[in-house]
Structure 1
Amino acid sequence: MIRAVLLALLLAGPAAAQVPEPDGYRGEPYRAPVPATLQGATVIDGAQAVRLHAEGVPFLDVLPRKTRPEGLPEGTIWREPLHETIPGAVWLWDTGYDRLAPAEQARLERGLAEASKGDPAAPVVIFCRSDCWMSWNAARRAVALGYTAIHWFPGGIEGWQAAGGASLVKATPVVP
């Protein structure tokens, strides 16, 4: 029963809560209900994401990358956790925070330019996890950069799976 309710919520698309769009970018906590809108972008649900994917629209994953914890004793083996994503998505890690360092801003700009082939009117889908402000922040930045066909997918990888999208694949982070 609980699983059916959760699946129904994911398939419903954007969060049902009436969360207003903030004036700026949203910080912690990033995993929280998100607005149902993003001014200047098209908000899509899982079925629309699957359709756009089938049409060849580029997908950009902005989930953060886990880095080696500081202070690990010398000789400690650390393996970066596996991050799975939508097939063909470009992983622009760490580009969804409320404040971006110059390297992350450049990664986002470069990723958008490559995904759109330099055409700010080309469609691009931006996502991360369900109810995650990082994708909202990154999509808002894309709109602010002049991209006019941004599709924000607030359901993220969970919404993709719930909509019957192709199996997730191992993500490879873009080179800084």
Structure 2
Amino acid sequence: MPGVVIFAAVFSGALSPVSAWSEEGSAPAAIEGAVLLSAEELVATFEHHPRLVMIDARLTGDRRQGYIEGSVSLPNTETDCDSLARVLPGFDHPVVFYCNGPKCRRSYVAVKRARRCGYTRIYWFRGGFAEWKAKGYPYLNE
């Protein structure tokens, strides 16, 4: 899986589309049913779950600013049970969601939708791309 490459190199309610409010305010500190991860914990989680699917819940324009290698672009506005089923092999497959950072609610919305669809091994990288970049981890640009 492409996401493993970067880590090996570094560390040998409703399912309708969400409007612009998803970028305003701050995301909550936690989401029931999701394990909160820091950047370091995300790397460690990849070491324990090398098949972890990482979903970038940002819009395509945000992704042009950079993204974590191996992540799948699935904006929260397109996240529903069908789109999740296309990228996740089963309801118990580990998945992590991220977006721009603590002030971005897109990954929060995507996690809530995944839970409603029945996914059970959900991780949330609340610090998102902002934390990843601030801590000096490598990333890709389109």
Shift of 1:126: 0.3
In structure 2, what is the equivalent of residue 64 of structure 1? 59
Query: AA paired with 2:64?
Result: L
SS at match of 1:88: coil
In structure 1, what is the equivalent of residue 130 of structure 2? 158
Shift of 1:135: 0.6
* Whole-angstrom distance in 1 between the partners of 2:98 and 2:21: 17
Structure 1 unaligned spans of 5+: 1-22, 67-79, 97-103, 172-176
Give me the identity figure in percent.
27
SS at match of 1:161: helix
Determine if contact 1:50/1:163 at 8 Å carries over to the other structure. no
In structure 1, what is the equivalent of residue 41 of structure 2? 48
1:28 and 2:21 correspond: yes
Aligned residue pair count: 124
Higher helix share: 2
> What TM-score results when the alignment is normalised by the length of structure 2?
0.72
Rate the CA distance shift 1:158–1:53 in 2: closer, same or farther, 3 A: farther
Structure 2 unaligned spans of 5+: 1-12
Deviations 1:75-109 (A, max 9, x none): xxxxx98341101000113x25xxxxxxx24xx43
Query: AA paired with 2:94?
Result: P
| Deviating 4+ runs (over 6 angstroms) | 23-26
Determine if contact 1:115/1:124 at 8 Å carries over to the other structure. no
Deviations 1:11-31 (A, max 9, x none): xxxxxxxxxxxx788962624
